[in-house]
Amino acid sequence: MAAPEAIELTRLVYSDVLNFNLAKDTMVHLSSLLLKHYHGGHVVIRLALGGCTNRPFYRIVAAYNKRARDSKHIEQLGSFDPLPNLYNEKLVSLNFQRIKYWIACGAHPTKPVAKLLGLSGFFPLYPMTVTKAERLRKTVAQKEALGASEEGSEEASESKPETA
């Protein structure tokens, strides 16, 4: 199942070639035709890693599913810097207009991209984010409970030798 826009473009190109009617201002995008056609491939919105040693930097990118993580993408839709800056911020840039276009074309965002979009408010919150938060609070509450019970037992053991 080739991507729908590729089918449209092939139709356009063939019709133009047959009619010898290429007007000067129609721009035929041949790049997606020349890309490899993957069997069962689809477009994804994912993070492509860049940067240097001990300094990651992600680009949010629309690419074919079967392509390598960092290789040729269809379009760059933004960036994500995982290391906080001077003002203690992680900077995320998102080209919402183009993201809307690619999602309308049927692109699948990956988990980290979906999490980022949920945190930004563009998507509803990703369920794992909520689950993680709940689990964290549970562990914190358990630790507190443990700590309280330990203190209680310590006090009890301290008071016993005093009284005894």
Partner 1 sequence: MAAFRVTRCLIRDSARLRNVEQKSAVVFRCARRTLSSESANNSPTDGRSPQFSDEEVQNILTKITGLDLQKAFRPVKQELKPPTYRLMTDAQLAEATQKAIQVAKERLKMPPVLSERKLIDDVLAEDKFLEGLETVKYVFTDITYNIPHRERFIVIREPDGTLRKATWEERDRMVQLYFPREGRRLTPPPVFKEENLKVVFLQDRHEDILDLCLVQFEPDSPDYRRVHNLTYEDIDKHGKYDLPCSTRHFGGMVWYLVNGKKIDGLLIDMIQRDLIQDAASVIHLYHMLHPQGSAAKEAGEQQAQGIDLVKIFARTESQKAGYVELALQAYQETSTERSAQSSSP
Q: Given the rule CB under 8 A, which residues bind partner 1?
A: 78, 84, 87-98, 116, 119-121, 125, 129-130, 132-134, 136-137, 140
User: How far apart are CB 87 and partner 1 at their closest, in Å?
Assistant: 8
Residue 142 one-letter amino acid: Q
Residue 31 or 120 with smaller CB distance to partner 1 = 120
Q: Which two tokens stand for residue 36?
A: 């490899």
Q: Which lies closer to partner 1 via its Cβ, residue 91 or residue 145?
A: 91
CA atoms 105, 109, 113, 115: torsion sign? positive
Identify the DSSP state of 28.
-
Cβ proximity to partner 1: between 37 and 138 the closer is 138
CB of 120 to partner 1, least distance (A): 4
Helix (H, G, I), strand (E, B) or coil at 56: strand
CA distance 62 to 107: 8
In whole angstroms, how close is the CB of 77 to partner 1 at the nearest point?
9
